[in-house]
Amino acid sequence: MSKEPELTSSEIGTLWMTFQQKTMVKTMLKYFIEKAEDPNAKKIMVSLSNEIDLYINQLTKLFESEGAVVPEGYKDNDVHPDAPKLFDHDFDIYFTRIMKAISMGMHTLHLGMVYRKDLLTLFQSLTKTTQDYFSQSTEYLLNKGVLVRPPHVTMPKEIEFATKQDYLKGIKFGHKRSLTTIEVAHLYHAIENNIVGANLMMGFAQCAQNEDIIKYFTRGKDLSKKLVKDFGKILMKSDVQIPSLEGGTVTTSKTPPFSDKMMMYCTSLLCSFSLGSNAFGTSFSLRNDIPPVVLIGAKDIFEFASDGAKLMVKHGWMEEAPQMEDRKQLMDK
């Protein structure tokens, strides 16, 4: 019988990261499912939770069969389903949608980092499942009328080519050119995610137990609001109306539904997603007044994420990823 080759370093890394993310989402869903009032929202989350459970079991068996320690990840002691409702007005599905957007990016990236046939199949399956629940979450929010579509534009009737270098400076026919639909798409995407992110940070700050963690989440809320304002200004200057987005609401509860440890990891994950999205969006922007704004935002996000990592280390919450052998230490007599 043929036997799969041993896992490579990159394959172990991708499996480890997937385990961390899946156990976090599964654990947080446990609370959202408990507090769900809409049966359709609950149905989506219960079905997703069951799917994630299957993948967690599959990942656990993979680690065990390869003789590797199973990561700790996030467990029942990181969630308190009996805590009062912290988020309201469809925030649970807003959150699910963002987590699935992050997962789509992660699984596609990881698919290009694995080589074993069983792992290729695994990440293909994860990608398909994630896309399905992202679509379900989007459709749910649209049907509820709480997810506002980006602004419409007159349909293009002819093909145009840029003929002057001024186009890259954001100038056309002697004045600042209009934003392209590609630029609007990335700006709107960033605004949408940061509105939900601001509400998440507000809720986290309201129920966190450690004083330094409360201050950190408050800083995250302010950062998300600043990014919404800065990106919104670019749209407004081009006379592109910014629809009113809600992104769910935060109740007055101060009882923590999640451990500070898990909330910090969730924030770290969102920062990584935001940095990747901003970098990707900047590469497609050809109006030179946009990248500086986005890059300043990325710098602020990076510094925020770095400070978050320091806090996680300080409190002993950062589980280390598997490392390569330290040959220098092994050779030291």
In this structure, of 15-24, 26-35, 53-62, 170-179, the range with the lowest mean pLDDT score is 170-179
124 and 76 in a single domain? The answer is yes
- pLDDT for position 113: 92
Task: Tell whether the model's pLDDT for residue 240 goes beyond 90.
Answer: no
Residue 124 pLDDT > 90, yes or no? yes
Mean pLDDT of the region 171-184: 71
3-state secondary structure 181-227: HHHHHHHHHHHHHHHHHHHHHHHHHHHCCCHHHHHHHHHHHHHHHHH
Residue 332: inside a domain: no
Please, is 189 exposed, middle or buried when counting C-beta atoms within 10 Å of its C-beta (0-12, 13-18, 19+)?
A: middle
Please indicate, yes or no, if residue 155 is contained in any of the structural domains: no
Has residue 323 been placed in a domain? no
Q: Is the pLDDT of residue 166 over 70?
A: no
Same domain, 31 and 133: yes
Query: Looking at the structure, do residues 256 and 199 belong to the same domain, yes or no?
Result: yes
Please state, in angstroms and rounded to a whole number, the distance separating the CA atoms of residues 28 and 39.
Answer: 18
Q: What mean pLDDT comes out for the span 290-306? A: 91
| Over residues 218-222, mean pLDDT | 96
Selected residue with higher pLDDT from 222 and 327: 222
The long-range contacts involving 304-313, CB below 8 angstroms and separated by at least 24 positions, are 304/219, 304/220, 304/223, 304/271, 305/268, 305/271, 305/272, 305/275, 307/216, 308/216, 308/264, 308/267, 308/268, 308/271, 309/268, 311/212, 311/213, 311/216, 311/264, 312/261, 312/264, 312/265, 312/268
pLDDT score at 170:
56
Q: How many separate domains does the chain show?
A: 2
User: Would you place residue 1 in the very low, low, confident or very high pLDDT band (cuts 50, 70, 90)?
Assistant: very low
pLDDT for 174: 47
Collapsing DSSP to helix, strand or coil, 254 comes out as coil
The pLDDT value recorded for residue 280 is 72
Could you tell me the residue range of the domain that residue 88 belongs to? Answer: 9-144
Average pLDDT, the chain: 89
Which pLDDT belongs to residue 173? 45
Mean pLDDT score, 238-254: 83
Res 237: pLDDT: 85
Task: Among 6-15, 251-260, 323-332, name the one with the lowest average pLDDT.
Answer: 323-332
pLDDT, residue 115, reads 92
Q: Collapsing DSSP states into helix, strand and coil, what is residue 249?
A: strand
Could you tell me if 21 and 330 are in contact, meaning their C-beta atoms sit under 8 angstroms apart?
A: no
Give the residue-averaged pLDDT of 128-133.
96
Same domain, 175 and 123: no
What pLDDT, on the 0 to 100 scale, is given for residue 332? 76
Percent of the chain with pLDDT over 90: 64
**Lowest-confidence region among 104-108, 138-142, 245-249:** 245-249
Average pLDDT over residues 57-86: 94
CATH number at residue 78: 1.20.1260.10
Mean pLDDT of 202-231: 95
Alpha-helix runs per DSSP H in the chain: 9-35, 39-65, 91-111, 117-144, 181-207, 211-237, 260-283, 290-314, 327-331
Decide: helix, strand or coil at residue 247. Answer: coil
The pLDDT value recorded for residue 35 is: 95
- Span of 123-127, 135-139, 174-178 with lowest mean pLDDT: 174-178
Question: 118 with 211, same domain?
Answer: no
Say yes or no: 130 and 239 in one domain: no
Mean pLDDT of 295-319: 94
Per the domain annotation, does 251 fall within a domain? yes
**110: three-class secondary structure by DSSP:** helix
Mark whether 310 and 182 lie in a shared domain: yes
**206 lies in some domain:** yes
Q: What value does the mean pLDDT take over residues 300-325? A: 91
Domain co-membership, 138 together with 176:
no
**Out of 14-18, 59-63, 161-165, 312-316, least confident range:** 161-165
Same domain, 174 and 72: no
Q: Give a yes or no: residue 246 inside a domain.
A: yes
Provide the whole-model pTM.
0.89
Domain shared by 133 and 207, yes or no:
no
